[in-house]
Amino acid sequence: MTGAGRLEPPVGQGAEPFWEGTRDRQLLLPWCTACRRPFFYPRPFCPVCLGRDIEWRRASGDGSVYAFTVEHRTEGVPFAGGAPFVVGLVALDEGVRLMANIVGCPTGDVRVGMAVTVSWEALSDGRHLPLFTPQPGERAS
């Protein structure tokens, strides 16, 4: 899979620290200091209490596959890597969930519950896109 042809993400309101962190391959999460928990996706306020005291903390980068699909066709999808490829929802150990491609193993090896860790794909402007790859020790079925 290559990065060419990807739709490169815009930087949304309140997400500047997230994307700046990706320049150094750091996965940063916004934490609400009042609720003392992270939320995702980043926005300028906490989606639980609407508080605006947000602290950015580095995440472990580890998590597990919550759900996924193997896309067999790319009709209407800007994605030059070619099918099949895996789009998954990853539950980070910190307790939030985000979407990402699961890479670094055959598509047929991906399982719900598989332990994964973050990896990075360069974007054209120096930012990186977080992807996830099986943790060492995750054996193919």
Residues 78-117 that bind other proteins (CB under 8 A): 78-79, 81, 84-85, 87-89, 97-101, 111-113
Residue 59 and residue 97 in contact, taking contact as beta carbons nearer than 8 Å: no
List the x/- string, 2-21, binding to other proteins by CB under 8 A.
----xxxxxxxx-x------
The rounded distance, in Å, linking the Cα atoms of 109 and 92 is: 20
List the x/- string, 61-80, binding to other proteins by CB under 8 A.
-----xxxxxxxxxxxxxx-
- Nearest-CA neighbor of 122 among 41, 26, 23? 23
The rounded distance, in Å, linking the Cα atoms of 62 and 9 is: 22
The rounded distance, in Å, linking the Cα atoms of 102 and 121 is: 12
Q: Which DSSP symbol is given to 107?
A: G
For residue 74, give both structure tokens: 């790319």
Give the length of the chain: 141
Residue among 60 and 69 whose Cβ is closer to other proteins: 69
Min dist. Cβ of residue 71 to other proteins (A): 5
Residue among 78 and 137 whose Cβ is closer to other proteins: 78
30: β partners = 56
Is position 125 an interface residue for other proteins (rule: CB under 8 A)? no
Min dist. Cβ of residue 23 to other proteins (A): 16
Binding site for other proteins (CB under 8 A): 6-13, 15, 41, 66-79, 81, 84-85, 87-89, 97-101, 111-113, 129
